[in-house]
Amino acid sequence: MIKGKIYSAKGIAEIVNGELIGDDCSIEQISLNSKEKSVLGHCFFAIKGEKFDGENFVLEAVKNGAKIVVSSKREPTIYTKIYVRDTKEALYKLAKYNIGNTKIIGVTGSVGKTTIKELASAVLSKKYSVSATYENYNNEIGVSLTLLGIKDEDFCVVEMGMRGLGEIELLARISTPEISIISNAGTAHIERLGSEENILKAKAEILKHTKKHAIVPSEKRFKGIDYKNLKVSFIGEQKGVYSDWFNIENEGISFNIIDNNLNKEYNAFIHSFYPHDIQNALFAYELGRVCNVPAEKIIDGIFEFKNYKNRGSIQKIRNFELINDSYNASLESVKASIIGLLGLCKKKNKIPFVVLGDMLENGDFSEKYHLEIGAFLRKNNVENLVTFGCLSQKICEGLGGGIHFDSYEKIIDYLKENVNENHIALIKASRRLSFEKIIEGLKQKNEN
């Protein structure tokens, strides 16, 4: 249930080019879930998805408090209905209208989207009122709900995900960002897109509807994009904003920010043990600069950033430390996480222990990428490896070692017996493998 601005049924019908059937009334909550309940009444959008059709649950939604139903069925009813041909398009139109004067910051990329979204929100909130995408609700429905939750804030930071060509363009069309950030264009979803060039093309779709400014990596291929009339900041470029020093500490990483736009250098700190998050912080710094947030406030915002629990947070389980990075995995993010683990182990004089699962959606590149991770571990002298999944045995093959298991329970028992206070463990796999089950299992073993 999204609580946003107050709308009348007549007003919604006008915005979405629909036909009002029944009496006019007002709501300030919108739902796509028929099971959600409201006391004062809400508007239910009967969305048709891949696995369900909201039209089949309209009566349940009305029973649970819906006063208005946006539907693609025209027949009259006892409740207020807004008839439209396409309920999804109606949702998009209302979401777009609801933006009002709020400036949208669009964030996309193969990895780092959620981290940059959180960093950007922390930085902008030092001067402005800010809302943002909840967790990682970054598809066309999640983005629409985020926009519908806007209540005239100065900025809304919108994370945009995709699995194929055209999807980012749709999200950008709905949200029309003032400023867009593209974190990178790696190998995630290469199974669907076929090449890294197509992935870059898909990410760059956000620029088609960006109004003023793009913030992108300082890479040759990003410099070849047609930015039309947009201003562009290249992050990591020495004539712009970059960092050339960092130090891993007990609570995170100290690093410098060199801003040649202002001819200034700043000392900063981020609560993360992943060096790649320095780059993410630089995106947030440049965004703050472009939006006229004072540099000192930007540094404070970066300092206040905290990683989500499944995206690189450190937990103490039993008698050892564990990096919980169970949310997702791609070739680039796994390598980056291993680098972070190795740096932390060096700082604390510990031994790395890596637990990896399949990296999915790599298509014909799957075997190559898993072998590459194994070779990367071998190159960095990592000996302790546990894998799980149909593809991850290739990681063991690439390493020339490691142990592959066929159940979470066996992994949990093995870790219980073999990981101790001398180790720091990394847990990482693609989302569908639900590697948080391993962490929960270790916690239960710890309690018993």
Which pLDDT score is estimated for 50?
81
pTM given for the model: 0.91
What DSSP designation does 136 have? T
Q: 168 and 162 in contact (C-beta within 8 Å)?
A: yes
SS3 418: helix
Q: Which of 63-72, 303-312, 319-328 has the lowest mean pLDDT?
A: 303-312
Phi, psi of 102 (to 5 degrees): -65, 135
Q: Going edge to edge, which strands form the sheet with 2-8?
A: 2-8, 26-31, 42-45, 66-71, 80-83, 19-21
Q: How far from the centroid of its chain's Cα atoms is residue 54's Cα? A: 26
Cα–Cα distance for residue pair 431/426, rounded to 1 Å: 15
Torsion over CA of 105, 108, 111 and 113, rounded to 10 degrees? 30
Mean residue pLDDT across the chain: 94
Phi, psi of 397 (to 5 degrees): -65, -40
How far CA 119 is from CA of 126, 149, 299, in Å, comes to 11, 20, 10
Match 């540094």 to its residue by tokens.
299
- Would the pLDDT of 364 be above 70? yes
Which pLDDT score is estimated for 327?
85
Contacts of 145 (CB under 8 A, 6+ apart): 2, 30, 32, 95, 134, 137
pLDDT digits (tens, 9 = 90+) for 371-419: 999 999 999 999 999 999 999 999 999 999 999 999 999 999 999 999 9
pLDDT digits (tens, 9 = 90+) for 93-118: 999 999 999 999 999 998 889 999 99
Across residues 135-162, what is the average pLDDT?
94
- Would the pLDDT of 163 be above 90? no
Across residues 188-213, what is the average pLDDT?
86
Q: Which of 182-186, 228-232, 310-314 has the lowest mean pLDDT?
A: 310-314
Question: Bridge partners of 377?
Answer: none
Which pLDDT score is estimated for 164?
82
Burial class of residue 9 in the structure, from the number of CB atoms within 10 Å of its CB (0-12 exposed, 13-18 middle, 19+ buried): buried
How many C-beta atoms lie closer than 10 Å to residue 51's C-beta? Answer: 5
pLDDT digits (tens, 9 = 90+) for 39-85: 999 999 999 988 889 999 999 999 999 999 999 999 878 899 999 99
- Would the pLDDT of 147 be above 80? yes
* Dihedral sign (CA 16, 117, 220, 236): positive
What the chain holds in terms of domains, given with CATH numbers, is 2-86 (3.40.1390.10), 99-304 (3.40.1190.10), 313-447 (3.90.190.20)
Which pLDDT score is estimated for 186?
72
- Would the pLDDT of 254 be above 90? yes
- Rounded to 5°, the CA angle 224-227-228 comes to 125
Which pLDDT score is estimated for 152?
95
Q: 387 and 404 in contact (C-beta within 8 Å)?
A: yes
Which pLDDT score is estimated for 413?
96
The secondary structure of 273-320, three-state, reads: CCCHHHHHHHHHHHHHHHCCCCHHHHHHHHHHCCCCCCCCEEEEECCE
Cα–Cα distance for residue pair 97/11, rounded to 1 Å: 11
- Would the pLDDT of 448 be above 70? no
- Would the pLDDT of 183 be above 90? yes
Cα–Cα distance for residue pair 16/93, rounded to 1 Å: 6
Q: Residue 444: what residue type?
A: Q
Nearest CA to 246 among 238, 260, 258, 256?
256
pLDDT digits (tens, 9 = 90+) for 334-358: 999 999 999 999 999 999 999 999 9
